[in-house]
Amino acid sequence: MAATEPKGHGQHAGLWVFPDVSVMSREVTEKTKSSPRPLTMALVVTGILFVLGIVGFIARAADDGFNDISAWGYYLSVFSMVFMVTSGAPLAAVAFRFTKSHWRRPLSRVSELFAIAGILNILLFIPLMFLLPSIGNPDAVGGLIEGELAVRRTIWFEAPIGSPHAWDLVGVAGLVVTALFILWLSAMPDMAESRHTATGFRRTLYSKLSGNWYGTKKQWNAQKAGLALLGAFYFMTLIFMQFVISSDYAQSLIPGWKDSIFPVIYTITSLHMGLGAVLVTLFILRRFGGYDGYIGKSTFWSASKVMLGITLLWIYHLFAFFITFWYGRLEVEQNIIKYLITDTYAIIFLLNLAFSFVLPFAVLIWNPVRRSDWGPALAGGLLIVGGIMFNIRIFVGSANAAPGSDIYAYFFEHVPSPVYPDIWDVFMVIGGLAAAAFVYLLATRLLPVLSLWEVKEGALYQKWGKLHRGEYLILGKPE
């Protein structure tokens, strides 16, 4: 079991854990192999919900077909939820590895494993290709409409071949593949370590994937460089894809909605959901998974500061959007505010505001709460709910803003009434989220949820030391 820390001076006791690396590998691999009862239960439940989701999808398809996007608002939003979580979560590992923070070490694998759940993005996206109305106005073909109304407003200005549908799919797939590469590269040492001790399918998997990794200096350097490069590339692709998805499937569907900050808000919400999911997972692992010897509260504490930051960023960007639209008296802007904020989806918006800013902020502003492990996890959960509300508000709203051919109108001139989910929509939303959880749970059986090599590396650079009479943490910063 992990070594207990010496009592530091002041209130920082209980913050740091120093894993006992000698037994770590064995213990973690044991945990990975074992399948405790609650876990199997969770697998069963999520699996059932997953099936329900598929049922809902089929029913929806049978009811409405794939022609009119306005029937698929909730499907759109559930795709976006899964996309936000699974693409935002790996960023935690990438970003904090970039800043060389020691506290990220127990966190990185947990966040990278979301890449496997990210495979769902591709599956979920395929129907959307058929749903997105084409850019060129079909009425314009007969020469009935020329000029500004001949094409929808999109970021694909002159509509190159196959855009946006095919390119979006390529982008999503590329993002998922990049994330999987990062996972593979960062898990390679761990797989190599246990490729001989492991049994069954894991043995074959590990030995296949870890290739000829022997941990030579050269290999380590190559791995570090590769992780850095892939990380940078992943970050760029992520930002770009979220810009594309948010403007293709939300902004361009509301005629005349020209809001340059929306992609940024979307990305921040995605960070909310990703980091939230990571912290909730960490909390479960620490409290119930028996990983408390490896995941210190310091991880939660440092992550909570970042979380507080992005919570404030969210409200800041939202206000920047709101005040700009409110101040001008442009008809289209007033209508969009009415539609998305004050009138049609007012309740959803209030929930979104509460869960994305008010409640998490109220939780995170207290130092003792941030030092605990439940506080940040709670805030993470709240942020996830907020993200769900955000997606429902934006995507259901966009899909139903201008049904039929009004989508090619130039201005958003009258405000429609809200669209409530029917039973299939509920199935799809729950099922989609459950699917992500299901795949993630499977993934935790596949690979250790703790990045062994990183934690070991961290153990080299963190220790307790005496300065005169006091005892403090010593952090080494390797170049």
The site for other proteins (CB under 8 A) is made up of 9-10, 12, 15, 148, 153-155, 157, 239, 243, 247, 258-264, 305, 312, 316-317, 319-332, 334, 411, 413-414, 460-461, 463, 465, 467-470, 472-479
The residue among 130 and 472 lying less far from other proteins, judged by its C-beta, is 472
H or E segment at 464?
Answer: strand 462-467
Tell me whether residue 52 or residue 155 sits nearer to other proteins (CB atom): 155
| Comparison of 115 and 318: residue with beta carbon closer to other proteins | 318
**Smallest distance from the beta carbon of 354 to other proteins, in angstroms?**
17
Supply the minimum distance, in Å, between the C-beta of residue 327 and other proteins: 4
CA distances from 467 to 3, 7, 12, 278 (A): 22, 14, 16, 36
Q: How far is the CB of 61 from other proteins (least distance, A)?
A: 29
Choose between 208 and 258: whose C-beta lies nearer to other proteins. Answer: 258
Using CA atoms, how far residue 83 sits from 56, 76, 263, 328, in Å, is 19, 10, 14, 33
* Whole-angstrom distance, CA of residue 361 vs CA of residue 363: 5
Q: What angle (nearest 5°) sits at the alpha carbon of residue 160, between those of residues 156 and 164?
A: 55
Q: Nearest distance from residue 146's CB to other proteins, in Å?
A: 13
User: Taking the complex as a whole, how short is the minimal distance between the CB of residue 157 and other proteins, in angstroms?
Assistant: 6
- Token reading at 457: 């590396």
Peptide bond into 164 cis (omega under 30): yes
Q: What is the DSSP string of 97-165?
A: HHTT-GGGHHHHHHHHTHHHHTHHHHHHHHHHHHHSPPSB-GGGGGTSS-GGGGB---SSTT--TTTTH
Instruction: Classify 439 as helix, strand or coil.
Output: helix
Radius of gyration of the chain (CA): 24
Residue tagged 């993002």 (tokens): 175
Query: To the nearest whole angstrom, how small is the minimum distance from the Cβ of residue 289 to other proteins?
Result: 26
What's the closest the beta carbon of residue 123 comes to other proteins, in angstroms? 29
Q: Any alpha helices (H) in 65-104, and if so which ranges?
A: 73-98
471 to 35, 102, 167, 465, 468: CA distances (angstroms):
40, 19, 57, 6, 8
Which C-beta is closer to other proteins: that of 40 or that of 324? Answer: 324
The single-letter code of the amino acid at 274 is G
Q: How far apart are CA 247 and CA 257, in angstroms?
A: 10
Please state, in angstroms and rounded to a whole number, the distance separating the CA atoms of residues 73 and 161: 26
Residue 18 gets which letter from DSSP? B
Taking each helix axis from N to C end, the angle separating 452-461 and 105-112, rounded to the nearest 10 degrees, works out to 160
Q: CB-wise, 200 or 465, nearer to other proteins?
A: 465
Nearer to other proteins, 220 or 322 (CB): 322
- Give least dist CB 199 to other proteins, A: 34
Q: How far is the CB of 408 from other proteins (least distance, A)?
A: 12
Q: Between 158 and 212, whose beta carbon lies closer to other proteins?
A: 158
Which of 103/294 has CB closer to other proteins? Answer: 103
Nearer to other proteins, 196 or 477 (CB): 477
> Whose CA is closest to 75, among 294, 304, 405, 391?
391
| Residue 365 beta carbon to other proteins: minimum distance, rounded to whole angstroms | 10
Identify which of residues 146 and 479 has a Cβ nearer to other proteins in the complex: 479
Residue 323 CB, shortest distance to other proteins, in Å, is 5
Close Cβ partners of 233 (under 8 Å, ≥ 6 residues apart): 178
Nearer to other proteins, 130 or 316 (CB): 316
Helix axis angle, 452-461 relative to 21-33, nearest 10°?
A: 160
- Which of 122, 118, 399 lies closest to 248, judged by CA? 399
Minimum CB separation of residue 115 from other proteins in Å reads: 23
Whole-angstrom Cα distance, residue 25 to residue 206?
15
Non-local (6+) Cβ contacts of 212 within 8 A are none
